[in-house]
Amino acid sequence: MNPIVKNILAVVLGLSIGGAVNMVIIMISSSIIPPPDGTDLTTMEGLLAAMPLMEPKHFLFPFLAHALGALVGAFIAAKIAANAKITFAMVIGVCFLIGGILNIVMLPSPLWYTLVDLVLGYLPMAYLGGKLATK
C-alpha cells in the first residue's frame, strides 16, 4: 500500500477509534458514578448547570475517556503508519488536546481538573500509545 495512503488511514482510524473509545466511556460513566441529583447531563445547558455540583469523583470518567481515547487512538495510528510512527501517534494526541481545549472553553471545569486533563490526559497518553505500538 502507498505510504501516504497508509499514513492518512492511520490518522483517520486513530481519530475514529480513539473518539469511539472516548464516547463509550463517557456514555457508561453516569451508570457507574451517578451525576448529582436533579441534573441533566444530556444537554450543554444541563452540563453547565451541573458543573458547580460536581464532586471530584464525577471527573474520573471524563479524564479516563480523554486519556484512554488518546492512548488507543495513538496506538492504532502508530500501528498502521508506514513511517514516523511516534509522530503519527503524537498527531492523534495533538488532535485530542485541541478537542480538550475546546471542551474546556465551552464547558468550564475546576482548575485542578483542567490542569490534570490537559497536562496528563492527551500528549503523554499519545506518546505512551505510540511507544506501546512500536515495541
* Interatomic CA distance for residues 26 and 18, integer angstroms: 12
Domain presence at residue 117: yes
Domain presence at residue 25: yes
Percentage of the chain exceeding pLDDT 70: 100
Is the pLDDT confidence value at 135 over 90?
no
Number of helical (H) and strand (E) elements in the chain, helices listed first: 6, 0
Angle at 39 (CA atoms; ends 43, 36), nearest 5 degrees: 130
* Interatomic CA distance for residues 6 and 62, integer angstroms: 31
Domain presence at residue 28: yes
Is the pLDDT confidence value at 37 over 90?
no
User: Which triple of cell numbers denotes residue 56?
Assistant: 471530584
Cβ–Cβ under 8 Å, residues 63 and 107: no
Q: Which domain holds residue 96?
A: 1-32+72-135
pLDDT tier at 43, thresholds 50, 70, 90: confident
Average pLDDT, rounded, for the chain: 95
| pTM of the model as a whole | 0.92
Domain presence at residue 41: no
Averaged over 117-128, what is the pLDDT?
97
Total structural domains within the chain: 1
Question: What's the confidence (pLDDT) of residue 119?
Answer: 97
Question: What's the confidence (pLDDT) of residue 63?
Answer: 97
Q: pLDDT tens digit string along 80-107?
A: 999 999 999 999 999 999 999 999 999 8
What is each CA distance from 43 to 21, 48, 49, 63, 67, in whole angstroms? 20, 9, 10, 19, 23
